[in-house]
Chains A and B, each alone.
Chain A
């Protein structure tokens, strides 16, 4: 009797675990399929709404992309909880990423608004596109450095070597293009800094900054780990 009861109990436990696994898998599948459907919507919107060989092609394409992004945004808001559950980041890292996005957004917005307002003065020396790109890169720099320094960007420290190699490769390529632009005299034309001339230079500065931040974070991590080691020796019940 006892044996039957134990077998029954074990079977119940197995069924319960399996149900939980199935529920988690279903949730994961739902999320993946949702994202795929949203991506298909973006593509369909781009193909259907933006007809080829049309005079309004560009405007329609922009509208289609905005529509697609809106659909993705609606989906992400609806499935936010499920997406967060599947994320590898923990609660503190997600909070830090939120702050990083916020700071990056505000820095880029304020910088670019000021740039547009000051275009009459700045326009004599530098193309507005250069200033706007600098603003966007500044926003990205703020966002990434905040996330990296608060351990909320896995790629920067879990796959540090790949991350650094990738960034350095892009940096070298950008530096090459920037050097060619400098040699051709495209950087300053008629006393105005041109977008074609300095776009790659700006990217070089941005990438160098990110690589430096990753290196600084690496040094901080090393110091932190060294500091942690003696802490383990605290006697239990000391506090």
Chain B
């Protein structure tokens, strides 16, 4: 499943995939694979991405299913 939240957050900071990749220390292709849903990153990389984009893990990586309501 495509990670559109990540793409949107990246766009918010006007960052390219390469910029984000440099910020978290991975290759551009890895960021592309995460956005396309081809690769599930480790929790370590998820946290690094969240810190770079000033978001929480839930905001970027939690997949909300239909009818699911958040408690917060």
Chain A interface (Cβ < 8 Å from any Cβ of B): 90-93, 151, 224, 228, 231-239
Contact = CB atoms under 8 A, between A and B. Distances in A.
A86 to B, nearest CB: 13
A231 B10 CA distance: 10
A149 B14 CA distance: 28
A235 to B, nearest CB: 7
A91 B27 contact: no
Given A228-B17, A236-B11, A92 B33 contact: yes
A237 B9 CA distance: 8
A92 B14 contact: no
B41 interface: yes
B42 A238 contact: no
Contact of B12 (A90, A228, A237): A237
B56 interface: no
B52 interface: no
B25 interface: yes
A236 B54 CA distance: 14
A81 to B, nearest CB: 13
Contacts of B44: 91
A231 B32 CA distance: 11
B32 A228 contact: yes
Interface in B2-26: 4-5, 7-12, 14, 16-17, 25-26
A90 B11 contact: no
Interface of B: 4-5, 7-12, 14, 16-17, 25-27, 29-30, 32-33, 39, 41-42, 44-45
Given A151-B27, A224-B32, A235-B11, A91 B5 contact: no
B17 A236 contact: no
A34 B33 CA distance: 35
B27 A234 contact: no
A91 B8 contact: no
A238 B14 CA distance: 14
Contacts of A231: 7, 11
B30 A232 contact: no
B27 A93 contact: yes
A106 B27 CA distance: 28
Nearest to A150: B29
Given A224-B32, A234-B8, A239-B4, A90 B25 contact: yes
Contacts of B7: 231, 234, 239
A121 to B, nearest CB: 43
Nearest to B11: A234
Contact of A90 (B14, B16, B26): B26
Contacts of B32: 224, 228
Contacts of A224: 32
A91 B14 CA distance: 25
